[in-house]
Amino acid sequence: MSELHGYYLEDLSVGMSDSYAKTITDADIVLFAGISGDTNPVHINQEFAEKTMFKSRIAHGMLSAGFISTVLGTKLPGPGAIYVSQSLKFKAPVRIGDTVVAKATVKEVIAEKRRVILETVCTVGETTVLEGEAMLMVDARG
């Protein structure tokens, strides 16, 4: 099973980063609404959304935030790491057809507590749509 494990605490250093990209589809938004129960019409009703400040349907902010979880749980630090906390600031809307790039960068390694703090950001092109900070518990080799 060790081949499934991600980075260990000793492998992590400030500045390491990884990312995940996903192009948002109508199906992604509809499925997320169904799974989460968030059926706010700004996400699923075009006529309603056209009358909002966004002028069209937008993806759930937590859908983009979920891509951060993808990076942390599958790439950096990866399998074996446990999410402890996450701050989020939503900066801009994500629309159908947008490609969201979620990126996590190691900001601090706290060896004595087996914790790592990562800067987290989602972008669409040059636009930051979400930013925050995550703390994860990471296994040590010993």
Domain-embedded: residue 45: no
Domain-embedded: residue 117: yes
CA of residue 25 relative to chain centroid, distance: 17
Domain-embedded: residue 34: no
Query: Residue 8: its pLDDT value, please?
Result: 93
Domain-embedded: residue 38: no
Domain-embedded: residue 17: yes
Domain residues for 92? 2-24+60-137
- Taking each helix axis from N to C terminus, what angle separates 26-36 and 61-74, rounded to the nearest 10 degrees? 90
- The total of structural domains in the chain comes to 1
pLDDT exceeds 70 at position 12: yes
Query: Residue 1: its pLDDT value, please?
Result: 54
The predicted-structure confidence for 30-44, as pLDDT tens digits, reads as follows: 999 999 999 999 999
Domain-embedded: residue 107: yes
The predicted-structure confidence for 69-128, as pLDDT tens digits, reads as follows: 999 999 999 999 999 999 999 999 999 999 999 999 999 999 999 999 999 999 999 999
- Rounded mean pLDDT, 37-57: 97
Query: Residue 57: its pLDDT value, please?
Result: 97
DSSP of the chain: -GGG----GGG--TT-EEEEEEE--HHHHHHHHHHH----HHHH-HHHHHTSTTSS----HHHHHHHHHHHHHHTSS-TT-EEEEEEEEE-S---TTPEEEEEEEEEEEEGGGTEEEEEEEEEETTEEEEEEEEEEE-----
What CATH number has the domain bearing residue 126? 3.10.129.10
pTM above 0.85, yes or no: yes
